[in-house]
């Protein structure tokens, strides 16, 4: 029986020669992750199951959503998670100042890699598919069971083939690509399906582009997103200290629900308007209408807080000033990226332009802290969701964009074309 990449990984972890769409399987897990929102809720469940994790090397708690702790409750949650990690002698102890945002720190540390089966109590766990892993988000109960038993039940998903070809134009990044795709297929266009990216266009995308694309597979309803393992992926894993991994390749005659043809060269800078990631508009459409003035810009998150994102935003901002009425927050996704921004002089560029350069955190993305929106405010954000009330007041408006479009908009004071504002570099 022919299988997709995802189906092959699931079959291997279920100890089966093959699996078929819709089949219920119990798979062994290579990594289980929770953050400071989901982790504390999982602890009582784990304790009901005996109290111990199945493998101290394969369970990770990452404090990143309300860190630095915004109030007493968030401090207590982080404390409970930290104390349990120490009690269990977890190999990968994550503490503020020594880690970062979950979906950036795990690949950076070499904890996720090709061929793995991963679950996380966060919907954007699908990020790790950029490295050829099966990774998906689950609920708190499932993640607690996975931490205690080392297994999880899955219904084998069908798949969509996203055939990429062509070469992206200047100022087009992975964020534009995935917003374009979600706009085309809809926010439920890949519901409980594996989004498998393939084609000659894959080679034109950087690893940071691929992480961004897989990160937002869930915004199309996808069970996971996954890329083939090429030389770029191998180089990334080598630099992260990964020496051994398994590579799975989809069979040539694997069955897909549909094939989505994507010409990377035809994609324009794209912005998702409120209140869905699938409400995409090209910069050309936006420029043809009335200017959309903004109050805030966020550059960072698990979607666009990597080094390449920082460089792209800084390149647009260099030599410019943020509009007087706009506030900008820049949040590198990990401490390593933060330090690299210092070494490369990017911090100087951001601060001199009028941005607040902040510690790694998910705070603004989910309206936790460090940038909550007031009633009626508009924000251009490089994050992954623009739902009602996502970043603050239910009457605030969120526009999702790439780091370059976000930076250009910060300078202009309204949603702007990075091709024009960023023309100085």
CB neighbours of 408 closer than 8 A, spacing ≥ 6?
316, 416, 417, 418, 420, 421, 422
What pLDDT, on a 0 to 100 scale, did the predictor assign at position 363? 87
Surface-to-core class of residue 50, CB atoms within 10 Å of its CB (0-12 exposed, 13-18 middle, 19+ buried): exposed
Confidence check: pLDDT of 424 > 60: no
Q: What is the pLDDT of residue 260?
A: 97
pTM: 0.94
**Which CATH fold topology does 268-421 show?**
Aconitase; domain 3 (3.30.499)
Among the ranges given (30-34, 66-70, 126-130, 245-249), the one the predictor scored with the smallest mean pLDDT: 66-70
| Torsion sign, CA atoms 143, 145, 149, 153 | negative
The predicted model gives 187-214 an average pLDDT of 96
Answer yes or no: is pLDDT of 366 > 90.
Answer: no
pLDDT for the residue numbered 256: 96
**How much is the average pLDDT of 240-251?**
96
Residues 38-44 have a mean pLDDT of 94
Classify burial at 23, counting beta carbons within 10 Å of its beta carbon; exposed 0-12, middle 13-18, buried 19 or more. middle
Q: What percent of the chain has pLDDT over 90?
A: 93
Place of tokens 């439920």: 188
- Count how many residues are written for the chain: 425
Nearest Cα residue to 358 out of 68, 54, 6: 68
pLDDT 10s digits, 165-198: 999 999 999 999 999 999 999 999 999 999 999 9
For 118, residues 6+ apart whose C-beta sits below 8 A from its C-beta are 29, 30, 31, 32, 33, 112, 125, 128, 133, 134, 135, 136
Does pLDDT of 52 surpass 60?
Answer: yes
Percent of the chain, pLDDT > 70?
99
Q: Measure Cα distances from 24 to 117, 153, 154 in Å.
A: 15, 7, 6
Question: Are the folds of 5-244+251-264 and 268-421 the same?
Answer: yes
Say how far apart CA 59 and CA 54 lie, in whole Å. 8
The reported pLDDT for the residue numbered 422 is: 58
Cβ atoms of 404 and 284 within 8 Å: the answer is no
The CATH homologous superfamily to which domain 5-244+251-264 belongs is Aconitase, domain 3 (3.30.499.10)
pLDDT computed for residue 193 by the predictor: 96
Question: Average pLDDT for residues 273-285, to the nearest whole number?
Answer: 95
Residue 264 reports pLDDT greater than 90: yes
Residue 425's pLDDT is what?
39
Domain residue ranges of the chain, discontinuous segments joined by +: 5-244+251-264, 268-421
Residue 308 has pLDDT above 90, yes or no: yes
Question: How does pLDDT run across 69-80, given as a tens digit for each residue?
Answer: 999 999 999 999
> Angle at the Cα of 216 (from 156 to 289), degrees rounded to 5?
140
Q: Classify 162 in phi/psi space as left (phi over 0), alpha (psi -120 to 50) or beta.
A: beta
State the chain's mean pLDDT as an integer: 95
At 100-123, the pLDDT tens digits run: 999 999 999 999 999 999 999 999
In the beta sheet, which residues pair with residue 400?
272, 381
Give the list of residues 6+ apart from residue 404 with CB closer than 8 angstroms, or none.
Answer: 171, 173, 269, 312, 313, 315, 316, 418, 422
Asked if the model's pLDDT at residue 364 lies above 90, the reply is no
Instruction: Please list the residues that pair with 165 across neighbouring strands.
Output: 263
CA 272 to CA 182: how far, in whole Å? 9
pLDDT of 215 over the 50 cut: yes
Cα of first residue to Cα of last residue in the chain, in angstroms, is 52
């Amino acid at each position: 029986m022919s299988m997709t990449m995802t189906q092959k990984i699931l079959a291997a972890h279920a100890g089966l020669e093959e699996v078929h769409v819709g089949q219920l399987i119990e798979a062994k897990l290579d990594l289980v992750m929770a953050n400071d929102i989901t982790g504390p809720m999982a602890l009582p469940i784990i304790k009901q199951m005996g109290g111990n994790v199945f493998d101290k090397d394969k369970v990770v708690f990452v404090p990143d959503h309300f860190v630095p702790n915004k109030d007493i409750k968030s401090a207590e949650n982080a404390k409970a998670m930290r104390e349990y990690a120490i009690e269990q002698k977890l190999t990968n102890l994550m503490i503020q100042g020594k880690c970062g945002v979950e979906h950036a720190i795990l690949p950076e540390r070499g904890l996720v890699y090709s061929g793995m089966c991963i679950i996380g109590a966060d919907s954007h766990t699908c990020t790790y598919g950029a490295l050829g892993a099966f990774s998906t988000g689950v609920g708190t109960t499932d993640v607690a069971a996975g931490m205690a038993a080392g297994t999880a039940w899955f219904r084998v998903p069908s798949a969509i083939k996203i055939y990429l070809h062509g070469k992206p134009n200047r100022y087009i990044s992975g964020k534009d690509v995935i917003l374009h795709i979600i706009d085309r297929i809809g926010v439920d266009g890949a519901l409980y399906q594996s989004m498998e990216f393939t084609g000659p266009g894959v080679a034109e995308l950087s690893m940071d582009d691929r992480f961004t694309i897989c990160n937002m597979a869930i915004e199309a309803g996808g069970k996971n997103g996954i890329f083939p393992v090429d030389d770029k992926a191998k180089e990334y894993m080598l630099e992260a200290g990964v020496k051994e991994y398994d590579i799975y390749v989809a069979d040539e005659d694997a069955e897909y629900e549909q094939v989505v043809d994507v010409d990377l060269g035809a994609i324009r800078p794209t912005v998702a308007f409120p209140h869905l990631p699938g409400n995409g508009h090209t910069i050309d459409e936006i420029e043809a209408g009335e200017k959309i003035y903004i109050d805030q810009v966020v550059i960072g998150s698990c979607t666009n807080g990597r080094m390449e994102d920082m460089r792209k935003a800084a390149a647009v901002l260099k030599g410019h000033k943020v509009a007087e009425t706009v506030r900008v927050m820049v949040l590198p996704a990990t401490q390593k990226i933060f330090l690299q921004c210092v070494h490369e002089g990017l911090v100087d560029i951001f601060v001199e332009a009028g941005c607040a350069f902040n510690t790694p955190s998910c705070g603004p993305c989910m309206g936790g802290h460090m940038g909550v929106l007031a009633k009626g405010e508009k924000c251009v954000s490089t994050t992954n969701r623009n739902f009602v009330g996502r970043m603050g007041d239910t009457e605030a408006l969120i526009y999702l964009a790439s780091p370059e479009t976000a930076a250009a908009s910060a300078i202009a004071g309204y949603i702007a074309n990075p091709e024009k504002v960023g023309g100085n570099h």
